[in-house]
Structure 1
Amino acid sequence: MSDPYLCPNCKTNKTRFNIIEQVPNAVKKDPDSGEVTEEFSMADLDPFHLPYKGPERKVQCGACGLIEDERNFIKRAEYERKQ
């Protein structure tokens, strides 16, 4: 998180961002009512429940509102520096 960011959409914002920490909750839902019937910890998922493998955090641009993986904002800043 100490890397510089640049919004890959508006390409002007380098300072205002919202960091979104992703905390997955593994659940089993009733297919008819939609109610949660069971909650799992990541250590004891049942055999048919895949663990979350997405990014730990996402970033939202404070200027245009784009929400993307943190690495997209970092890579855009790196690309801008090279030019």
Structure 2
Amino acid sequence: MTDNQMQDKPYFCPNCRSNRVKFNVVTTYSQSFMKDAITGSVTVQEDPLQIAEPEPNIQCRVCGFTGNELRFVKQAEREPRQNTNPGQGL
């Protein structure tokens, strides 16, 4: 997992408003490299380093919408999932 932990709260895609379960966390990396000025071939390539972000970016795997985590959490709070199994929670 990344340094910026995701919240342990339900998500709901604010775009398609159908997905509550399938998501990607999107991270950003920086990778240094050097090229030969004549041939253009890569001569040195460093390992990629993850760029620290204040809040994770989440992508809906249904519609592809990407936004900050808070948008997905707030949408789930506005439209909470109703328990459809009457035997649960008794």
TM-score (norm 2): 0.51
Aligned match of 2:23: 18
**Greater helix content:** 1
Question: Does residue 9 of structure 1 match 2:8?
Answer: no
State the structure with more CA Rg.
2
RMSD: 3.5
| Contact kept in structure 1, 2:26 and 2:59, CA below 8 Å | no
Q: Per the alignment, in what secondary structure is the counterpart of residue 20 of structure 1?
A: strand
| Unpaired segments ≥5 residues, structure 1 | 28-51
Q: What is residue 73 of structure 1 aligned with on the other side? A: 72
Q: Is the 8 A contact 1:22 1:55 kept in 2?
A: no
- Conserved 8 A contact 1:7-1:61: yes
Separation of aligned partners in 2, 1:10 and 1:22? 22
How high is the TM-score relative to the length of structure 1? 0.54
Q: Which structure 2 residue ranges, 5 or more long, are not aligned?
A: 1-6, 33-50, 81-90
- Equivalent pairs counted in the alignment come to 72
